[in-house]
């Protein structure tokens, strides 16, 4: 409706972000509002309930479209495939209440200030709305809503120091507090009544309420009470679970809101305030021991060490340095001037400051839910809806049942009206059809299966916070794995050191098994070039730094003073196990430190030997380190030596140094000056071993035709070798290395496709390689174009170039891409999304540190970390290896097949009952209340609760269960069993009327003494009393149809209870078999035992024994036919494959379409060639829409480092 309105009625909120929404402006109209209020009253709240379910209808009915500038109501619609609507009210905030502020006041006159942009004149008010805990204010000049609660990002480094370095005034703090709101991540513990109210208003429970009211009107009391009790139990469990999650999340964030912090004010200096009063632009003063950060801030003075485990999952101290003055970049925003390393200056909310080298001051950047921790909490509070075909088909399935019920209603009305029944009776009988055709127990039965699976996963150490995704696990056909900590061991073992000697390398010195390394400059680099700390008497820091430092035998001295402040330098001294000659030196003091940066791929320190020289030491990615060294100090064999070790899966670190002249003032030198003109020292070799579980799991996934992909931040050659060792790249397969020249975003980049040679190590330290190519029919131009014979490998920079300049090549490359190295967290998330666009069901398994974005956007995210950072992942494994992946897929397939079984059973059960009732309606009859009760409660409810108990089959088969309820085998199974049930009931209904003992008036004629067909049931004097107690339901047709339909419900339960290949055989489900056996025994008792009191209660009549055996024979024939059809046709994969080939059917998945096209393309894959982007190629935006928490960036994995 509103989309036709012109002007500024429509805009985008959070453009380019994951939470992007369309927004439409509306103004409430009095007349429309009055009409809607009248509608609420006349409909007894029905219209209000409808508007509760459909907020867009509420807005369209009550409001008229207008410009956003005039709107008092905003309608929001997500731009994803779900198009979820939300109604939000625009509110006015007044800043004039803070005191007499003139519109020309300096605080409001600053044109670059956000406060100036969102404040109207002369009222001094701001129009705001709150969406998913984030506050937005109307920008008067830009005519759009902008996010508040964040510091303006247009400030330069110099402006941040100048404007905020000395703190805010009280007036400015007050204005910012009104507009930006409190600095609090408030997650209220939802009251039970509110949770209960929301749950009861679920459409399913509203339908149940309608059904129960109708049943009470018909005196169907017993089942009504049973449904009420089951619904109350279900609602109570749901409310309890929601309440428990609410309490858990509240406890996760409550420590954030009650922190006392020191703030610098211009008028009063340093003062202590509650953290909820902080605003963007405030200046925090840190120090005095450990403290929790209540906001995101940028460090402007001093240095501190923080623990970011809450956000990254790695409990490793991280050193933060202050934001530079920025005089040389005065015209550029601070993020751009520090683009390579801006996160090194940021302190994130929820992280812990371990040590502060004071005085430490930081400017508040973001508050409340705008912070890194707030973003994490919002991802839990507002998860992205799950787009799974089963759930979409489930809605269509229910709509189909409603359509069938509508046909039955018309039929019922016609029959009863034509026979002159009263209007009230006609309405009740017609409405009955809806409650019969649409099974009220369906959602409960489906939920039961998910709950059982969730419990089984919990026993295996796999915890789930999104139960709906369990079914999605059954469809996974591609798994992305992180490398370090996931496929390989978390820690690194120091293997050895290869020293440089001028233009050549010395022999490798094995540190793991060889003699101690003599003291030298390389040992000095290992002892000083790190970011380790001594905390509580224990050395802590990055595992790589720790292994390197421990190999030297040196120790860190506790140089902290009594007041807890750092000394000016970190002291390291030789220990008992130190190298020969080190003890004579006495130790070193680390004067300056430039911590490791993932963007720069290096770290540097300035170290002073006691009584000796000063040195600059550097370590980092070898290809980066040699760029800072004099060429004459780099051996000629550097590339081949690096290739030699990385191709064997080692992690290689380059070392370099230079000596500083005596008397040089180190503090005055820039990093660029200190890091120039270095001498290359050599290569440090570390070994990262595969976990013992990795290869067997990957082989199991490969056998099940589930594709595995490695996504890592490590060196590409190391990643390729690990992929070969793990079995991701099978022996004999060819590796095509895809490399880009130039940088992303620059004009005319190119991409090179090279066939990578597979080296074979000769005896000794030889780096010679022998190329081995597969011969291909048709000239041997390259690898066999068949799937799986070649694997593309590329790094993050190449991936970004392809994404921006070669979009047409990206899907082709992703189809056979196996190794993605040097990938940043946003690139990992983008890769998962690109694979999803190709119709893959993508799982992501990582350690929760740098993979949080990818874990969140994947169909199924599996975190191997139990840190708080992993809470955004649907699944968390207590066992830190990838064995959880096949287990989750097994359980997911089992749950998915169980869901299909339940859908089919509940559909057929309700249809069987529906057909029986419609047949009896023809004679103005129906089932009795106890007949309904037995079928609904004793049969369907127990079957629904126990059919889901089958465990998963232990073996993963090389095909997946169907993903749709509308798949041909499932539809055919449903239709054939439906026709069989219809045929059985119609046969029984028709044949019973043709029996010689049949009578519409005398219900004892079948068992009377004159009926020779039944000698087993002699007449008794009390039989006439039974005939007189007839409530209108008793008839031969009723007895026959009810017995047939009841037995049929049991038989289809047995037929539909699938076993292999996804679930264990039905006989292993002991509870289900026992329940089915008892139910069958009771039904047989009803069929053959003529007990007058029982028959009177169940509204049954006596029939001849021969007729009862005839019914049993008819049922056995039906069961045999149904079972044969199910096993020989429905479950016959060979038959369906033959039918697909005969009909020419081909999969419509995008990746399979592309696969078929590439198999016919003789020019693919390209080999030994270079593709260049044309100058007029349209550049595609980067990864703005991919989820990436600002703190979810590794300190080891570069944003886009070069490949080797």
For residue 360, which phi and psi values (nearest 5 degrees)?
A: -110, 125
Q: Whose CA is closest to 621, among 599, 647, 590, 649?
A: 599
Q: In the structure encoding, which two tokens stand for residue 569, read together?
A: 């330098």
Question: Tokens 């022998």 sit at which residue?
Answer: 770
Q: Are 824 and 713 in contact (CB under 8 A)?
A: yes
Report the distance separating Cα 777 and Cα 145, nearest Å: 62
Report the distance separating Cα 709 and Cα 820, nearest Å: 8
Where b means 16+ CB within 10 Å and e means fewer, 463-489 reads: bbbebebbbbbbbbbbbbbbbbbbbbb
For residue 317, which phi and psi values (nearest 5 degrees)?
A: -60, 135
Report the distance separating Cα 687 and Cα 492, nearest Å: 6
Distance of CA 1148 to the CA centre of its chain: 25
Q: In the structure encoding, which two tokens stand for residue 1202, read together?
A: 């070069």
Question: Tokens 């190298």 sit at which residue?
Answer: 579
For residue 924, which phi and psi values (nearest 5 degrees)?
A: 55, 35
265's CB contacts (< 8 A; 6+ apart) are 167, 168, 169, 170, 173, 271
Upstream peptide bond of 65 is cis (omega within 30 degrees of 0): no
DSSP-assigned letter for residue 384? P
**Coil/strand/helix, residue 509:** strand
Q: Are 124 and 105 in contact (CB under 8 A)?
A: no
As a whole number of Å, the end-to-end CA separation of the chain is 57
Where b means 16+ CB within 10 Å and e means fewer, 1060-1096 reads: ebbbbebeebeebeebbeebeeebeebbeebeeeebb
Report the distance separating Cα 917 and Cα 915, nearest Å: 5
Report the distance separating Cα 191 and Cα 189, nearest Å: 6
393 has catalytic annotation: no
Q: In the structure encoding, which two tokens stand for residue 696, read together?
A: 């067997």
CA 454, 456, 458 angle in degrees (round to 5)?
70
Q: Are 683 and 453 in contact (CB under 8 A)?
A: no
DSSP states of 942-1007: HHHHHGGGPPBPSS--SSPPPS-TTSHHHHHHHHHHHHHHHHHHHHHHHHHHTSTT--SS-TTGGG
Q: In the structure encoding, which two tokens stand for residue 945, read together?
A: 């609760």
Give the DSSP H/E element, type plus range, for residue 556. Answer: strand 554-556
Where b means 16+ CB within 10 Å and e means fewer, 1017-1055 reads: beeeeebeebeeeeeebbbbbbbbbbbbbbbbbbbbbbb
Rg (CA), the chain: 37
Identified catalytic residue from 393, 432, 482, 936:
482
**Coil/strand/helix, residue 863:** strand
Q: In the structure encoding, which two tokens stand for residue 1169, read together?
A: 């060639």
Report the distance separating Cα 839 and Cα 815, nearest Å: 11
For residue 271, which phi and psi values (nearest 5 degrees)?
A: -140, 155
193's CB contacts (< 8 A; 6+ apart) are none
Quickly count: other Cβ atoms within 10 Å of residue 1151's Cβ: 18
Q: Any idea which residues carry the catalytic annotation? A: 482
């Amino acid at each position: 409706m509103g989309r036709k309105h012109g002007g500024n009625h429509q805009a985008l909120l959070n453009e380019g972000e994951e939470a992007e929404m369309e927004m439409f402006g509306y103004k409430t109209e009095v007349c429309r509002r009055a009409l809607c209020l009248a509608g609420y009253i006349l409909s007894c709240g029905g219209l209000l309930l409808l508007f509760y379910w459909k907020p867009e209808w509420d807005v369209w009915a009550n409001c008229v479209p207008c410009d956003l500038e005039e709107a008092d109501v905003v309608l929001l619609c997500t731009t994803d495939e779900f198009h979820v609507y939300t109604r939000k009210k625009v509110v006015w905030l007044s800043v004039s209440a803070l005191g007499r502020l003139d519109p020309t006041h300096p605080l409001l006159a600053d044109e670059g200030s956000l406060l100036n942009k969102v404040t109207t004149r002369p009222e001094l008010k701001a129009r705001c709305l709150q969406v998913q805990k984030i506050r937005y204010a109307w920008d008067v000049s830009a005519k759009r809503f902008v996010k508040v609660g964040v510091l303006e990002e247009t400030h330069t480094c110099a402006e941040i120091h100048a404007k905020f370095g000395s703190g805010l005034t009280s007036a400015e703090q007050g204005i910012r507090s009104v507009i930006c709101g409190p600095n609090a991540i408030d997650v209220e513990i939802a009251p039970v009544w509110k949770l209960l109210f929301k749950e009861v208003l679920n459409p399913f429970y509203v339908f149940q309420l309608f059904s129960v009211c109708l049943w009470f009107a018909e005196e169907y009391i017993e089942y009504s009470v049973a449904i009420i009790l089951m619904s109350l139990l279900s609602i109570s469990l749901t409310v309890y679970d929601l309440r428990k999650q609410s309490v858990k999340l509240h406890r996760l964030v409550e420590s954030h809101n009650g922190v006392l912090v020191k703030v610098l004010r211009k008028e009063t200096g340093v003062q202590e305030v509650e953290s909820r009063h902080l605003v963007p632009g405030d200046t925090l003063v840190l120090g005095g021991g450990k403290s929790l950060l209540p906001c995101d801030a940028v460090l402007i003075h001093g240095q501190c060490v923080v623990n970011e485990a809450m956000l990254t999952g790695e409990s490793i101290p991280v050193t933060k340095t202050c934001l530079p003055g920025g005089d040389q970049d005065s015209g550029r925003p601070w993020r751009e001037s520090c683009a390579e390393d801006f996160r090194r200056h940021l302190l994130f909310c929820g992280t812990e400051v371990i040590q502060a080298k004071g005085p430490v001051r930081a400017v508040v950047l973001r508050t409340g839910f705008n912070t890194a921790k707030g973003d994490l909490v919002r991802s839990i509070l507002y998860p992205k809806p799950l787009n799974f075909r089963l759930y979409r088909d489930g809605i269509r399935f229910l709509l189909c049942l409603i359509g069938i019920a509508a046909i039955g209603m018309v039929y019922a009305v016609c029959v009863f009206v034509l026979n002159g029944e009263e209007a009230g009776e006609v309405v009740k009988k017609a409405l009955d059809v809806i409650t019969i055709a649409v099974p009220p127990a369906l959602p409960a039965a489906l939920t039961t299966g998910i709950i059982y699976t969730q419990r089984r996963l919990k026993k295996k150490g796999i915890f789930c916070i999104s139960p709906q995704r369990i079914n999605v696990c059954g469809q996974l056909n591609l798994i992305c794995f992180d490398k370090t900590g996931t496929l390989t061991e978390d820690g690194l073992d120091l293997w050895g050191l290869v020293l440089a000697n001028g233009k050549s390398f010395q022999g490798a010195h094995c540190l793991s098994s060889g003699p101690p390394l003599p003291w030298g400059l390389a040992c000095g680099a290992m002892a000083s070039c790190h970011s380790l700390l001594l905390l509580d008497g224990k050395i802590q820091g990055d595992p790589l730094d720790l292994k390197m430092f421990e190999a030297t035998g040196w120790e860190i001295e506790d140089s902290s003073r009594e007041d807890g402040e750092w000394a000016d330098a970190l002291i390291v001294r030789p220990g008992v196990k130190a190298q020969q000659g080190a003890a004579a030196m006495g130790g070193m003091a680390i004067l300056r430190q430039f911590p490791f940066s993932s963007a720069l791929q290096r770290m540097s320190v300035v170290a002073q030997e006691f009584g000796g020289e000063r040195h600059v030491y550097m370590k980092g990615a070898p290809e980066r380190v040699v760029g800072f060294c004099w060429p004459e100090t780099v051996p000629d064999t550097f590339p081949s030596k690096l290739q030699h070790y990385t191709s064997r899966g080692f992690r290689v670190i380059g070392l370099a140094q230079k000596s500083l002249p005596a008397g040089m003032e180190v503090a005055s030198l820039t990093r660029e000056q200190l890091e120039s003109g270095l001498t290359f020292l050599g290569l440090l070799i570390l070994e990262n071993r595969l976990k013992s579980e990795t290869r067997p799991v990957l082989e199991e996934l490969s056998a099940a035709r589930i594709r595995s992909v490695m996504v890592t931040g490590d060196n590409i050659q190391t990643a390729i070798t690990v992929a070969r060792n793990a079995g991701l790249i099978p022996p004999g397969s060819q590796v095509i290395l895809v490399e880009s020249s130039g940088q992303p975003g620059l004009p005319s980049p190119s991409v090179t496709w090279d066939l990578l040679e597979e080296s074979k190590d000769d005896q000794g330290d030889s780096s010679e390689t022998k190329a081995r190519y597969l011969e291909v029919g048709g000239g041997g131009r390259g690898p066999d174009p068949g799937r799986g014979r070649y694997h593309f490998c590329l790094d993050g920079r190449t991936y970004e170039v392809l994404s921006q300049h070669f979009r047409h090549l990206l899907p082709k490359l992703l189809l056979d891409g196996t190794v993605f190295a040097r990938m940043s967290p946003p690139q990992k998330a983008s890769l998962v999304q690109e694979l999803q666009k190709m119709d893959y069901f993508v799982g992501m398994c990582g350690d929760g540190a740098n993979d949080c974005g990818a874990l969140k956007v994947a169909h199924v995210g599996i975190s191997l970390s139990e840190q708080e950072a992993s809470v955004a992942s649907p699944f968390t494994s207590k066992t830190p290896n990838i064995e959880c992946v096949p287990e989750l897929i097994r359980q997911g397939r089992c749950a998915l097949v169980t869901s299909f079984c339940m859908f089919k059973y509940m559909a057929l059960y309700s249809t069987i009952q529906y057909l029986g009732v419609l047949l009896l309606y023809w004679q103005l009859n129906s089932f009795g209340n106890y007949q309904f009760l037995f079928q609904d409660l004793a049969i369907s409810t127990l079957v629904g609760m126990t059919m889901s108990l089958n465990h998963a089959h232990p073996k993963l088969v090389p095909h997946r269960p169907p993903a749709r309820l509308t798949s041909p085998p499932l539809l055919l199974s449903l239709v054939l069993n439906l026709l069989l049930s219809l045929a059985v009931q119609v046969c029984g209904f028709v044949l019973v009327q043709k029996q010689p003992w049949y009578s519409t008036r005398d219900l004892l004629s079948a068992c009377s003494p004159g009926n020779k067909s039944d000698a087993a049931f002699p007449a008794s004097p009390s039989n006439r009393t039974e005939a007189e107690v007839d409530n209108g339901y008793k008839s031969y047709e009723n007895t026959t149809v009810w017995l047939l339909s009841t037995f049929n419900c049991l038989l289809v339960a047995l037929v539909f209870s699938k076993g292999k290949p996804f679930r264990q055989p039905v006989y292993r489900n002991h509870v289900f078999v026992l329940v089915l056996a008892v139910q069958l025994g009771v039904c047989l008792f009803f069929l053959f035992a003529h007990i007058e009191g029982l028959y009177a209660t169940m509204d049954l009549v006596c029939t001849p024994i021969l007729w009862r055996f005839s019914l049993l024979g008819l049922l056995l024939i039906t069961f045999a036919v149904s079972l044969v059809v199910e096993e020989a046709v429905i479950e016959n994969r060979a038959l369906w494959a033959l039918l697909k080939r005969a009909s020419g059917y081909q999969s419509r998945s995008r990746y399979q379409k592309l696969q078929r096209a590439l198999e016919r393309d003789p020019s693919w894959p390209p080999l030994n060639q270079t593709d260049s982007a044309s100058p007029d190629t349209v550049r595609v935006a980067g990864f703005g829409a991919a989820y990436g928490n600002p703190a979810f960036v590794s300190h080891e994995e570069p944003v886009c480092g070069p490949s080797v």
